[in-house]
Amino acid sequence: MTTLTLFYIGLYYFAAIVLIAGVAYRITEYSRTPAPLKIPTTPAPITNSGVALRMAREVVLFESLFKSNKWIWVFGWMFHIGLALVLLRHVRYFQEPMWFVVEFVQPYGKYASFAMVAGLLGLWARRFLVDRVRYISTPSDHLMLALLVGIGASGMMTTFVSHTDIVALKAFALGLVTFDWHPVPTDGPMLVHLTLVAILMIIFPVSKLLHAPGIFFSPTRNQADNPRETRLIAPWAAAAERK
């Protein structure tokens, strides 16, 4: 076991713990904070199944963004759908044998990376070209895009430019899951890819990437429009009422 391998094994266990514990902590925090008032953005569904449908449209189709701005929608949707396919494709490195969907998605996932990076570049271009978006962009917004583009580009390199030893990679990845450790592949693009992904995992719970769990807790989207029929009262408000 080389020092390099030990380093990456350590890095990935650390990153995984930070990601899982961090996001779990955030989700606990969001779910424990009460929403004291009914504030769905109306017109809103009046039933809970309607709310589930609204949320699904929001998460899968980016419905509100579509209403809002077609450019951001196109780039954002390309990026996210591309990312979803790429991630699904990556499941193969963690299982043997593969699920059918994972096998099925392999060729699509490969080329979805182009959509993913193109979407990111489109979003990045807006941060320079649109004066309003330039005004609101912080250094971390640019760094986040650089990180994601870096992940996409380095990953594509390993597939399309200089083929990495994919068998070795799978042994390394599976080893992480089964605690039966194997050496990390040592080609440049793969090490860059692995490093950037670990960084992304680590910053996830303290960054704007929290929009992913956040949307499910957004009261304007997850509440049913039924305030005349049901009485919502937060624990802290009920406690004050009893006084």
Partner 1 sequence: MAGPEFEVPKLTEYTDVPKIKEGAMAHVKSFPAAKASQEFLGYPWELTEDWQERAINKMGDLLGKYRSLRVFMDACVHCGACTDKCHYFLGTADPKNMPVARQELMRKVYRRYFTLPGKIVPWLVGAEDLTKETLADWYSYYHQCSECRRCSVYCPYGIDTAEITMAGREILNTVGMGQKYSSEILTKVQKIGNNLGLPGPALEDTLLGLEEDIELDTGVPVKIPLDVKGAEILLITPSADFFSEPHVESLIGYAKVFHAAGASWTLSTHASEAGNFGLFNGNYEVMKKVAMRIRDAALELGVKRIIVGECGHAWRVAYSFWNTLTGIGYGGNDPFSIELQSQLDSRYPQPMHICEYTWDLIEKGTLKFDKSLNDDRIITFHDSCNVARGSRMGNEPGGQFTIPRNIIRAVANNFHDMAPETIGEATFCCGGGGGVLTDDLIEVRVKGALPRMNAFNNVVQNNGVNFLGLICAICKAQFTKVIPYYGFDRSMVGGVHQLVSTAIKLD
What residues line the site for partner 1 (CB under 8 A)? 26, 29-30, 33-39, 41-46, 58, 62, 64-65, 67-69, 72, 76, 123, 126, 130-133, 135-141, 143, 203, 206-208, 210-211, 214-215, 217-221, 225, 227-234, 236-238, 240-241
Residue 23 CB, nearest approach to partner 1 (Å): 12
**Residue (41 or 106) nearer to partner 1, CB:** 41
**Residue (101 or 136) nearer to partner 1, CB:** 136
Sign of CA dihedral 23, 24, 27, 29: negative
**Residue (142 or 163) nearer to partner 1, CB:** 142
The answer to whether residues 115 and 83 touch, using CB atoms and an 8 Å cutoff, is: no
| Distance in angstroms (rounded) separating the CA atoms of residues 85 and 117 | 13
Q: Return the amino acid letter for 229.
A: E
Residue 127 CB, nearest approach to partner 1 (Å): 8
Residue 173 CB, nearest approach to partner 1 (Å): 29
**Residue (68 or 178) nearer to partner 1, CB:** 68
CA distances from 151 to 87, 166, 200 (A): 12, 17, 9
First to last CA, the chain: 65
| Distance in angstroms (rounded) separating the CA atoms of residues 210 and 203 | 10
**Residue (91 or 125) nearer to partner 1, CB:** 125
Classify residue 227 by its DSSP letter.
Answer: T
Residue 100 token pair: 């059918």
**Residue (4 or 143) nearer to partner 1, CB:** 143
Residue 117 CB, nearest approach to partner 1 (Å): 18
Residue 134 token pair: 């330039």
Residue 238 CB, nearest approach to partner 1 (Å): 8
Residue 207 CB, nearest approach to partner 1 (Å): 7
Classify residue 162 by its DSSP letter.
Answer: S
CA distances from 162 to 89, 117, 186, 187 (A): 19, 18, 12, 9
Residue 186 token pair: 């040592």
